[in-house]
Structure 1
Amino acid sequence: MGQLLVVRHGQASFGADDYDVLSPTGEEQARVLGAALADLAPDLVVHGSLVRQRRTAELLAAAAGWDVRLREDPRWNELEDLAQFAAVSGSPDGLDRDGFQQWYDAAMARWTGGEHDHDYSEPFVGFRDRANAALADVADEGTVVAVSSGGPIAAIASVLLAGDATTYGRLLPGIVNAGITRVISGRRGLTLLSFNEHQHLPPELRTYR
């Protein structure tokens, strides 16, 4: 039986010139996660090609004391949502926090709705399927830790729960940085064992973006 731990990267640098780097909080989250998983002996650590994902994988592996190979697979990457959404829903530049959230929620609903797939470089169904394909491809490699992002994690969990785009939308906002989603692989296929574990993080390290 295989065990797959899909973890979200540490907090990125939201609002900075380069979002795709871990914040100091994100680096600490990765180290705390590694310490919490020190008793695990993974056969593989896989991560997306984004800087925040790769750096999280490096920090947690070092903190855990693992001598394990790291593999990059861009299928674990987050959706490039803002660029796609802005191309069809207008730019969110200049909006305040509430205005941005309203814009984002409407753009997300349009993307997941399935009626405008031709407007997007990566429609929702394609995004969902590539995340689940990445999971399936490591299901038989023993104990695997995959460092990804909120979107792929929500896509994987919603499929394993036999959910739909609505399920995806409900799962996504609550995924914690450096949280753990556990999947087991056995004779019955892939089964979601737990979603978004974050008890290893003290309250001051629990962040959502």
Structure 2
Amino acid sequence: MGVIYLVRHGQAPMHAYSTDPVPADAPGLTDLGVEQARRTGLELARQVPAFTAAVSGGLARQVATCAGVLAAFGEVHDGPLPEHVVDPGWDEYLIPALPGGPTPDMYRSPAAYQQVLDAALLRWTAGAADSDETYAEYQERTSAAVDRAVELAGSGQTVLAVSSAGTITALIARLWGVPAQAWPTLARAMVNASYTKLLVGRRGITVVSMNEHAHLSAADVGLATFR
């Protein structure tokens, strides 16, 4: 039986959700996001002796989080770290491209941003096709990425996969039979740099835990954020 640890990216700066060009040297995470990734790496090091593979989406916030988790993991374990492989299949849907989706300036108001995003996601899952990627195409792309991670997990292997709230919960929704229209409810509950544990066996994928973040929300830590 194999294991996949799905980690949501740490807190990202506002430019991550913009359609404007981003300088090549722009950070993928805020300072808080960097610390969140580090804390998650240390937490996973308490539970896992080694990762046999590490993948992330190609978005800057996902790549930076994976690198941060692995670096912190390496602070605890002396063994070699796996090569960090970028798989764009784990990328999040493009928020600015959603029909009627939120604009970057709304990001400063979390409640307003979420309300507009949820409405846009409902239209998208219902079949609105005026975005760069339809919901069906998104499902196909992310499902293929999951299949590749399952192959890496194999028997007795432990895989680290870093993605985003939408992509992680889209997988959970499929596994649990949650209707597409209810999927955003799962996504908005995801904490930055939380982790979800999956077992991979002959019967497929089993969700063992979801959105674990006690290492971030403890009173003496206070690093838990949703955006």
Query: Please, what TM-score do these two structures have when normalized by structure 1?
Result: 0.88
Q: Which amino acid aligns with 1:125?
A: A
The answer to whether structure 1 residue 49 and structure 2 residue 63 are counterparts is no
Tell me whether 1:73 sits opposite 2:87 in the alignment. Answer: yes
- Tell me the equivalent position of 1:190: 205
CA contact (8 A) 1:132 1:155 kept: no
The one-letter amino acid paired with 2:223 is L
SS at match of 1:56: helix
Preserved CA contact (<8 Å) 1:183 1:194: yes
TM-superposed deviation, 1:94: 6.2
Cα shift readout 1:62-92 (whole Å, capped 9, x = no counterpart): 111152211010011111121x12xx42774
Structure 2: stretches of 5+ with no match in the other structure: 75-79
The structure 2 residue matched to 1:105, chosen from 118, 128, 142, is: 118
Q: Does the alignment pair 1:139 with 2:150?
A: yes
The SS at the match of 2:14 is: coil
Hey, which bits of structure 1, 4+ residues long, moved more than 3 A?
15-20, 90-96, 98-102
Unaligned runs of 5+ in 1: none
The count of aligned residue pairs is 204
Tell me, in whole angstroms, the C-alpha distance in 1 between the residues paired with 2:200 and 2:93. 25
- Distance 1:105-1:36 versus aligned 2 partners, 3 A rule: same
Residues 168, 99 of structure 1: alpha-carbon distance in 2 compared, 3 angstrom cutoff = closer
Give how far 1:15 is off: 6.4
Aligned to 2:77: none
3-state secondary structure, aligned to 2:170? helix
Q: Which residue of 2 aligns with 1:33?
A: 40
Change in Cα spacing, 1:201 to 1:100, as seen in structure 2 (3 Å) is closer
Checking the alignment, whether the CA contact within 8 Å between 1:140 and 1:185 is kept in structure 2 is no
- Partners of 2:188 and 2:102 in 1: how far apart? 21
Which of these residues, 178, 191, 194, is aligned with residue 176 of structure 1?
191
Q: Superposition RMSD on alpha carbons, in Å?
A: 2.2
Confirm whether residue 129 of structure 1 aligns to residue 144 of structure 2: no
Alpha-carbon distance between aligned partners in 1 of 2:27 and 2:123, rounded to the nearest angstrom: 25
Taking structure 2 as the reference length, what is the TM-score of the superposition? 0.81
- Percent sequence identity over aligned pairs: 38
